[in-house]
Amino acid sequence: MPTDFAKLEVKGVYSKVSDYSSPRTKFKPASYVLTPDEYTHMEVEADTGGTTVSLANFTSITSIVVKNTHASNTVRAVWHNARGSASYANLLTFADAATGDTITEDGGGTNFTNAAVDVVKGGYVRITGATDAANNSTFLVSAASATVITVAPSEALAARDDAATVIVYSQEKNSQLIAGGGILVIPDAVPEEGLVLTSSAAAECEIFILGT
């Protein structure tokens, strides 16, 4: 697919008067230039129960811009960003335990704490390719070592010494409040997790998504 071109521009002015004349300072950095090949431009209503914006038509996200168009109602945005990943062929054991289910690597693959994967306590792991459907999901990490990931007690894994080729993706969950009239720029998001917008009361948001 051919590459397209996009850029994001930000301008700021600080003034003592409401018409912004004779500003005391100006902020206008160079444009942020991007080379995506897909885009989505939409308006959605964020409600109090949370509105999920699907990112499923993207393989990767270059940037997301969210404009809260309501004058006063706030909107909270929640998304995941990637830390790393690795593939494990016949190397993982899933186990269930009352104190927290575990994923163990037999020592022949990439350590979970290696910079290429970078699993951390308080982060998340997303599993794909596992034999059991219950293990193909996103799990909160309560502890991590070079060869063992312990998921939160509220999470459930299906016990198996898995012979499949399993991919472990390490992720972080982010949450940011957007004030009424405010703008949020997200530089990286995991498409599989989507974007969730929750408003203090109904609020329209304009969204511009760039990626591949």
Q: How do the domains of the chain map onto residue ranges? A: 37-74+179-212, 82-172
Question: Quick count: other Cβ atoms within 10 Å of Cβ 14?
Answer: 10
| pLDDT higher than threshold 90 for residue 2 | no
Reduced to 3 states (helix: H, G, I; strand: E, B; else coil), residue 147 is: coil
Per-residue pLDDT band for 8 (boundaries 50, 70, 90) equals confident
Closest to 29 in 3D by CA, of 7, 5, 10: 10
Q: What is the pTM of this model?
A: 0.88
- Give the CATH architecture of domain 82-172: Beta Barrel (2.40)
CA distance 110 to 112: 6
Q: Would strands 165-178 and 138-144 be described as parallel, antiparallel, or unpaired?
A: unpaired
Q: CA 58 to CA 56: how far, in whole Å?
A: 5
In the block, residue with structure tokens 């998504």: 209
Q: How many CB atoms lie within 10 A of CB 143?
A: 16
Q: Tens of pLDDT along 82-124? A: 999 999 999 999 999 877 899 999 989 999 999 999 999 999 9
Query: Rounded to the nearest 5°, which phi and psi values hold at 154?
Result: -75, -15
- Among residues 112, 190, 126, 119, the alpha carbon closest in space to that of 155 is found at 126
